[in-house]
Structure 1
């Protein structure tokens, strides 16, 4: 997660320039200072009263042969990226006894000095620089952290071997003896040594073609004894070969499009994180084209930029994550491992919580709550992305679930959203990544596929393009699309763009699409949430770190007005919306808590906020069932948490005199739940659709 590059100072400002921005207190991130500007225009933030309530490559359609045992592979740039940015998900996989493999692309050797950064050290105190030994110390810390998560004993032994790679080199494979389903793979390439500095000998330089090979940096004590160097193709071959070896049904990786610091050409994340993730994407594309593998889902994680955003984890979960970092950082300084290199990463020991990183985890894709749709005559349709293709499940009005069927067209990013058209057809929307022949050809765009007839097959993917000029000017940092349909049957798609503002594209009456249009807003994060009220007026919401912006139509078909500050308190940025009465209801979660909150909008401003409590956790809220009374969320243990209103209650507005019920149970799942009037679904780490009817929301069963 860190390197020894020069210290710099900067502030994350609005794209409208520094004079228009209000700043949150800056947060130091690995020598940089990250700040996030306020809700946008300098208007005062007044929180409302809170109530407590009881053209793609075409392939043949295919159907996977059957469910595979859950196998999770995590691909990260440095030792500790998984612990800082993927936990508590990592621990939940350990606790579930799923097969879990963590792959570290670089040795993370930094400057080779294994010492806490607490200030200048006298030469007699400062350890000598030794990159091989520092890489070993970080390995020792990772092994201790995983052993402690799995067995409670950080000294639980590992079996360490050297394995050949598909790239022609050798990697280290560590298997926990007491829990052999847990593996660590050390690829041991050289790291960049700087967050964003010009370092041609790096994953960045290799991806861009500035160097033809990237050499290894072997850790002392590793069973790998012979140095090697990889070309770009060999790195892809190596990672694809590891995917083939461990056959994942779920892949965790860092964000390949983290965006730029506003007003600069500097990424918001470490260059190794960014380009390591792009190598992972290329390897996944290679692996997805090989026959015989289990279908896999992908989850992307935000890195350094979590510092400038509201915390997502409840205190108990954050404390457990911090304890793991203390183990990795070797904070007690006892040489329990017997290694001269040290038993952990002393650079992290001075600040084992990072820069607020142990208080959050954030997905950057795949959090739509609109991937289940009610079709004609009571049919149900569910959608996900498996093998970078659209996966479709279907249930007839009186039949059983079938699927998943993987439709033609590859390159889809995690997460899809869907809408039902006026004639009963379903339209799905996603983003798609094109890796291209060269680094300048990397690109993301919005795509859509529509049923040819109600209940029928889907047509080919159609590109709606992107509001981004090119990858270099914004790193293709776009949100997931959100779509809504007006009374005339025309679709409008909303997107948070790389300038942290809102863009939209609309369908014309003849079925063609307009160009992308700028809709304003500042410092927007997360995915837009959209809904149309009973009259047909569209409402759009997007979060900032301090509040929520809204856009609203005065009447159906009227121009969209806004943005307007809603007056809502800070959220964890994930929002969901649904029609209710003369307006729409918005659901969100309280920072550093996970408690579910809701507010009603009949115009651009919020009603008093109702707090529904919950089972802690993070991510968006899915509202389904009669009157949107059945809520489903990710709980703190990673399984679904569901809310049932009190007997005789009236939904989520808090008007019931009884006691509402929260329950948790079910599978570890991907993204967010989604439901309709007849139940709620979640996609498990095994690639299966799990479904729960409204009468038994904790009884999750695999279908199809």
Structure 2
């Protein structure tokens, strides 16, 4: 929402002299590495009635058109959550010159001490606590990190202004002068100051109604000059208004359902991450109902818990991510920014890699490779989630595409999977979030929509419920569903539940559905991968941090047995499976490498692992075409990578020969690629479906 009324320009030059425009904000590990008092003690300000903001004119980049019409908005709880948990995606947006806006909900003021608490970097004399100045130092570190990623110069200047918010207060907007398509927005609310401690004055307390307002915590150099306080609605209004202002086609946000530490009632992630993400969900629901905006996709990112899982990034990418953290953390301590508050986050300087966070990035939703499905009469269907609704594209037998059509029914989480039924109809499965009227009403369930006739319109969404008792029991931490169809036409859906075991629900002979059933397994992570072999036996696979477990039918229609240890080495948790003769083939990635690996199962045991190398990157592998020969992945640069087998055959023989070739090119995309015999698709971050034919795997073109 654009500001109105008199305008006033604020610049770093006017506030701190000629070098101040270089300020950068540091990364915050907010409470994971250190504890802090969020009671308001220290250098905070009283919160008077919400003032009328002092808006200012700021030069913003014009709305891009054509292939460059990508606008990415990142919604973070703290300064540094993007650098720890969203990079390298953030860097790839910057390199691609997409419009990028990072929106920080809290000031990240912690205990106000800009110094390492312990270790060799801990000062002999601990600095005095000053929350306003520490918040400013973190801002300086972020500005430096973004400037360096964008221009190679951490001192590249920013324009800092105050803007009105739809919540009735003001926020700081920073625009990188050399790259005005890059913006930072500082909402500057007070943070919790503790990972999971009882802090009523926090996003958590505001969401649950324990406090009626959350006050601001302004950075010492902010052009926002008067404090304010927001109630719950005003926070949602503020974020929704900023979404309206920056009109995203793609939104990155933290995980609103990260689960609980086993045996406790403590979330596996920082409470600000969790409840900041739930405020983001509420704002996105509000924004999605606003007419005239471009359709947007959403990608969710795992936070602290990624430290206990296999690393996903190759050494080169991890090293680049760590270098950015060094910039944010102000490792050299030279006062290059000219600000007495400091040029970065010295708490992070004690451990710039976090708890292994710079060695991974991990999505928590939207990684299905089964969202493309052939129809009965030669047509092709593709599905995604845009505006939290099901987006449907259709390709006719002549190769002409139509869509996307957004079907009724909002609240869908990112990522859908689909199966083709025996009569040629297609069924789509997803998870859906219901925010509810009260905090305790927050809920996720599994839903399905089925074509009324082959090639026809889809019927309404049907809820299959959830194996979860309530949100508080496991924070609604469920995987995406995976579905398979038996020879009798009955569907079974598999789901990893918040207890890190496997659940399933099956369709009955009369079309009704059973109750959710526990299938066992422990320490399961990622989404289940399912496939049926040529005889109709179902195979289910789920990763643990150490190996892969499987469930298998001895014969079609027999009870599912398992879990069985496959003996496979650790994976990066994302799996995909497809039929291959009398067995199924499984694809996965090598940790800390990105190399693609594959094995074949003819029962519970796997063949030797074949390594196909790859183009680095992370995420699942899509297999399509004859003998599943055409593979597609997310490459190390964020664009699609495709594998073409060389001489020696298109199937297993060609893969085992190791003579294939990896190619990369195409758009930055969201989720995972998916394919069929006619080619491979990817949903671009501009909200468009891109398609690549098997004979031209690098020629990615939007279908509209």
Q: What TM-score do the two structures reach when normalised by structure 2?
A: 0.91
- What does the per-residue CA deviation read over 1:675-704, in whole Å, with 9 as the maximum and x for residues that have no partner? 011100000000000000111111100003
Alignment of 1:570-581 (within 5 A): 570-581=570-581
Residue of structure 1 in register with 2:499 after alignment: 499
2-side partners of 1:250 and 1:123: how far apart?
A: 42
Q: Is 1:197 matched up with 2:197?
A: yes
2-side partners of 1:121 and 1:344: how far apart?
A: 14
| Post-superposition offset of 1:649 | 2.0
2-side partners of 1:657 and 1:465: how far apart?
A: 46
2-side partners of 1:324 and 1:529: how far apart?
A: 35
Residue of structure 2 in register with 1:372 after alignment: 372
Higher relative contact order (CA 8 A, sep 6+): 1
- What does the per-residue CA deviation read over 1:572-620, in whole Å, with 9 as the maximum and x for residues that have no partner? 0000000001110000000000000000001111110000000000000
For the residue of structure 2 that corresponds to 1:199, the secondary structure is: coil
Alpha carbons 2:28, 2:80 under 8 Å: kept: no
Alpha carbons 1:627, 1:651 under 8 Å: kept: yes
Residue of structure 2 in register with 1:406 after alignment: 406
Alpha carbons 1:3, 1:193 under 8 Å: kept: no
- What does the per-residue CA deviation read over 1:11-32, in whole Å, with 9 as the maximum and x for residues that have no partner? xxxxxxxxxxxxxxxxxx5369
Alignment of 1:258-269 (within 5 A): 258-269=258-269
Q: Is 1:74 matched up with 2:77?
A: no
Residue of structure 2 in register with 1:11 after alignment: none
- Provide the alpha-carbon RMSD of the alignment: 1.5
Q: Which ranges in structure 1 are unaligned for 5 or more consecutive residues?
A: 6-28, 33-64
| Post-superposition offset of 1:116 | 2.0
2-side partners of 1:619 and 1:611: how far apart?
A: 16
Alpha carbons 2:29, 2:354 under 8 Å: kept: no
Residue of structure 1 in register with 2:548 after alignment: 548
- What does the per-residue CA deviation read over 1:524-582, in whole Å, with 9 as the maximum and x for residues that have no partner? 00000000000000000000000000000000000000000100000000000000011
Residue of structure 2 in register with 1:524 after alignment: 524
Alignment of 1:159-308 (within 5 A): 159-308=159-308
- What does the per-residue CA deviation read over 1:168-226, in whole Å, with 9 as the maximum and x for residues that have no partner? 00000000000000000000000001000000000000000000000000000100000
Residue of structure 2 in register with 1:510 after alignment: 510
Residue of structure 2 in register with 1:640 after alignment: 640
| Post-superposition offset of 1:120 | 9.2
Residue of structure 2 in register with 1:426 after alignment: 426
2-side partners of 1:542 and 1:72: how far apart?
A: 32
- What does the per-residue CA deviation read over 1:36-78, in whole Å, with 9 as the maximum and x for residues that have no partner? xxxxxxxxxxxxxxxxxxxxxxxxxxxxx99881000000000
| Post-superposition offset of 1:2 | 5.3
| Post-superposition offset of 1:625 | 1.1
2-side partners of 1:636 and 1:700: how far apart?
A: 17
For the residue of structure 2 that corresponds to 1:571, the secondary structure is: coil
For the residue of structure 1 that corresponds to 2:699, the secondary structure is: coil
Alpha carbons 2:571, 2:588 under 8 Å: kept: yes
Alpha carbons 1:311, 1:592 under 8 Å: kept: yes
Residue of structure 1 in register with 2:478 after alignment: 478
Residue of structure 1 in register with 2:443 after alignment: 443
Residue of structure 2 in register with 1:309 after alignment: 309
2-side partners of 1:272 and 1:658: how far apart?
A: 47
- What does the per-residue CA deviation read over 1:209-250, in whole Å, with 9 as the maximum and x for residues that have no partner? 000000000000100000000000000000000000000000
| Post-superposition offset of 1:126 | 1.2
Residue of structure 2 in register with 1:388 after alignment: 388
2-side partners of 1:701 and 1:4: how far apart?
A: 42
| Post-superposition offset of 1:119 | 3.7
2-side partners of 1:155 and 1:68: how far apart?
A: 27
| Post-superposition offset of 1:644 | 0.2
Distance 1:104 1:655, change over 3 A: closer
Residue of structure 1 in register with 2:345 after alignment: 345
Q: What TM-score do the two structures reach when normalised by structure 1?
A: 0.91
- What does the per-residue CA deviation read over 1:352-405, in whole Å, with 9 as the maximum and x for residues that have no partner? 000100000000000000000010121100000000000000001114000000
1-side partners of 2:651 and 2:679: how far apart?
A: 15
Alpha carbons 2:28, 2:138 under 8 Å: kept: no
2-side partners of 1:283 and 1:66: how far apart?
A: 27
Alpha carbons 2:641, 2:665 under 8 Å: kept: yes
For the residue of structure 1 that corresponds to 2:142, the secondary structure is: helix
For the residue of structure 1 that corresponds to 2:473, the secondary structure is: coil
Distance 1:550 1:205, change over 3 A: same
- What does the per-residue CA deviation read over 1:139-166, in whole Å, with 9 as the maximum and x for residues that have no partner? 0000000000000000000000000000
2-side partners of 1:481 and 1:4: how far apart?
A: 33
Residue of structure 1 in register with 2:6 after alignment: none
Alpha carbons 2:310, 2:591 under 8 Å: kept: yes
Alignment: residue pair count: 649
Stretches (4+) displaced over 4 A: 1-5, 65-68, 120-124, 652-658
Alignment of 1:313-332 (within 5 A): 313-332=313-332
Select between 464-473 and 110-119 the one with higher mean Cα deviation.
110-119
Distance 1:84 1:653, change over 3 A: farther
